[in-house]
Amino acid sequence: VIVAGGSGVRMKSPVPKQFLELYGKPVLMHTVEAFSTIVPDARIIIVIPQEYFALWQRLCSVKEWNVKHTLAAGGLKRYDSVKNGLALVGKQGVVAIHDAVRPLVSADVVKRCFDAAATYGAAIPVVPLKDSIRKIINETSHNEDRNMLRAVQTPQCFRCSIIKEAYTNAPLNDYTDDASVAETCGHNITLVEGNEENIKITSPADMLFAEVLLKNKFITH
Amino acid sequence: VIVAGGSGVRMKSPVPKQFLELYGKPVLMHTVEAFSTIVPDARIIIVIPQEYFALWQRLCSVKEWNVKHTLAAGGLKRYDSVKNGLALVGKQGVVAIHDAVRPLVSADVVKRCFDAAATYGAAIPVVPLKDSIRKIINETSHNEDRNMLRAVQTPQCFRCSIIKEAYTNAPLNDYTDDASVAETCGHNITLVEGNEENIKITSPADMLFAEVLLKNKFITH
């Protein structure tokens, strides 16, 4: 499930960032191709806002892009978008939920997450933090031990039965990731090593970063 | 005080990363130039391991690079390196302590930090976290509210009297940044807005990122 529900406010662009051209094609196509290459037999579900279905289909046609996929409509929040995507997923096997704006995930990370989820139920890629971290409490802030913190990426992988149930039973709808939804329902989350380059593209500088890495074949799928 | 004490283990390079060529000159020269351009009357102290003094002087000569500066010898840990740099700083005015491998700091951020430190005593640039964050506790981990966390960058700016005293009195020597040293000695830290591109260059992908931003004149000093 590739989640592209966002409206791209931060890019100050009239087009949501998942549709922006990156090294020859929209960001979303790079991301989908990562999965279709790394896991060729995976069924691919793309969640985008319904008002962009036509734009997406036009882009696929213009780029003569034929990777097989199913569309699902995005919801109000990320939670709703993922839920709509999961509605098209069966109860057997393992599902990966991945941000559409993370085209730089490595093959190793995808495989590692699928494998760990098959074995343990829920697995996510994480990387250490390079900057010091401060925590804001009331009017002040204090240094937080970054060695105990990890930055969470996607794909977040789950046995389908676990995550479908979690998305049905979760008490809230404003989780920042899928692991938090599973955690709320009592599941333990296995952390696997991510790749540092697997950033979430949200700014023009991120686009330049992604472009130079793709151009230099820095990430192989 | 530009701190380049590190030995560059993560780059798998025989040369520490501050000396690696980036868009025509060593990373360290870009970083120093940011400050000499933004704050032309600042006195510049560069802290590098003593065994690299000769390499640095050769690089300056080869590149015909004439930005006026004083060298100080790096110590065992970052703490020791900063302390050696601060030994050359007087008690009056404001000092900025900056990572040598952060050449992408913006002019706005440098000015904002100096100004806030002059007014409040201690100021550091921070940016929000884009990834979800997990905290590791014993054998497990849980979701941490990223809205309460900030990634800390440099320059970290202080009234000279405050930070010199803090470095003299701090009980430990393994702080990850200077704000933590000041905090240990009871000082309040003012957070100002950083620029997202101001990353710490530690990997080959970071070098590509920095190069493409410099090439595109994305950061102006």
User: Interface pTM (ipTM) of the complex?
Assistant: 0.94
Q: Yes or no: say if A35 and A2 are a contact pair by the CB < 8 Å rule.
A: yes
**pLDDT for the residue A15:** 82
Query: In terms of C-beta density within 10 A (0-12 exposed, 13-18 middle, 19 or more buried), how is residue B23 classed?
Result: middle
CB pairs < 8 Å spanning A and B? 122
The distance of B104 to chain A (nearest Cα, Å) reads: 11
CA dihedral B178, B138, A128, B33 (to 10 degrees): 0
Contact A188 B140 (CB under 8 A): yes
Start-to-end Cα distance in chain A: 18
Phi-psi region of B152 (alpha: psi -120 to 50; beta: other; left: phi over 0): beta
Closest CA to A204 of B202, B86, B195: B195
Of residues B134, B203, B212, nearest to A212 (C-beta): B212
Q: Yes or no: say if B62 and B131 are a contact pair by the CB < 8 Å rule.
A: no
Q: pLDDT per residue over B162-178, tens digit each?
A: 999 999 999 888 898 99
Query: Does position A146 have pLDDT exceeding 80, yes or no?
Result: yes
- Alpha-carbon distance of B132 to B109, in angstroms, equals 25
Q: Pairing relation of β-strands B132-137 and B140-144? A: antiparallel
Kindly state the tokens that stand for A107: 């093959």
Mean pLDDT for chain A overall: 94
Q: pLDDT per residue over A64-79, tens digit each?
A: 999 999 999 999 889 9
* Residues of A with Cβ-Cβ distance to B135 under 8 angstroms: 148-150
Residue B13 binned pLDDT confidence (cut-offs 50, 70, 90): low
Q: Which of B131, B199, B217 to mutate to test the interface with A (most CBs of A within 10 A)?
A: B131
The distance of B35 to chain A (nearest Cα, Å) reads: 21
**pLDDT for the residue A211:** 97
Query: Does position A33 have pLDDT exceeding 80, yes or no?
Result: yes
- pTM, entire model: 0.94
Of residues A132, A136, A152, nearest to B131 (C-beta): A152
Residue B19 binned pLDDT confidence (cut-offs 50, 70, 90): very high
Residue B98 pairs with which residues in a beta bridge? B2
Measured between alpha carbons, how far is residue B150 from residues A57, A131, B103 in Å?
39, 9, 20
* Residues of A with Cβ-Cβ distance to B208 under 8 angstroms: 209, 212-213, 216, 218
Percent of chain A with pLDDT over 70: 96
The distance of B28 to chain A (nearest Cα, Å) reads: 19
Query: Does position A85 have pLDDT exceeding 80, yes or no?
Result: yes
Query: Does position B86 have pLDDT exceeding 90, yes or no?
Result: yes
A145-178: buried (b, 16+ CB within 10 Å) or exposed (e) per residue?
Answer: ebeebbbbbbbbbbbbebbbbbbeebeeeebbbb
- Rg over alpha carbons for chain B, rounded to the nearest Å, is 17
